[in-house]
Amino acid sequence: MLKVLIMVSGGGTNLQAIIDGVASGKITNTELVGVISNNQGAYALERAKVAGIPAKVVSPKDYENRDLFNEALLAAVQSFEPDLIVLAGFLVVIPEIMIDAYENRIINIHPSLIPSFCGTGYYGLKVHEAALARGVKVTGATVHYVDKGTDTGPIIMQKAVSVQENDTPKTLQQRVMEEAEWQLLPAAISMIANQQTMD
Ligand code: GAR
């Protein structure tokens, strides 16, 4: 069984898709061992609680400087002994010490077709605002491995989603989630879990 830790910052709809995927058998060979949030108010924490998954909050506000926060974040991650770390709307830059400790074992979901609308400053609704401002007709989502750059790691899966004439950033965000993100992330986790078993 692949031991998966999920890191979140907000609403946690991607976390929910993972929880539901394990419950329905769409994701196999996977145990959800924990959830970490940088934000005490994240609704994702409620979702973890309802699903009976242990959760920890590590907030930068509770640390004097970034190095101390990064060390605490790594310690929290290590406490769950994960095989795979899934960034499911985790809007904190992953510290280098964590990338070194978990090389090729961290994946992220990004709400665009990388390399479009990604990198520093592109997160959440901002990604969809930028896609609409540029006038693209197709956008989507990407699951990729996390390396030391921002959204630069190897791509695992992508799915395209059509932009509609009257889309707002919010309607586009919702469609990208429904049609791409909530399917891609569970599929990527299950693929990795089963690759590992077959090795
Ligand atoms: C998702 O759309 C995810 O792709 C995005 O944040 C949202 C989190 O929603 N992530 C990024 O923008 C990362 N750069 P959720 O909390 O409902 O899963």
Note the pLDDT of residue 61. Answer: 95
Q: Which atom of ligand 1 is nearest to the CA of 108?
A: 13
**How far does CA 197 lie from the centroid of its chain?**
22
Strands (E) across 48-121 are located at: 55-57, 84-87, 106-110
Rounded to whole angstroms, how far apart are CA atoms 145 and 103? 9
Residue 110 alpha carbon to ligand 1 centre in Å? 7
Mean pLDDT of the residues in the chain: 96
What number is the average pLDDT over the span 90-104? 95
Q: Using a pLDDT cut of 90, give the percent of the chain over it.
A: 97
pTM of the model: 0.96
Q: What tens digit of pLDDT does each residue of 15-57 get? A: 999 999 999 999 999 999 999 999 999 999 999 999 999 999 9
Residue 175 alpha carbon to ligand 1 centre in Å? 13
Note the pLDDT of residue 198. Answer: 47
Confidence class of residue 197 from pLDDT cuts 50, 70 and 90?
Answer: very low
Rounded to whole angstroms, how far apart are CA atoms 126 and 177? 14
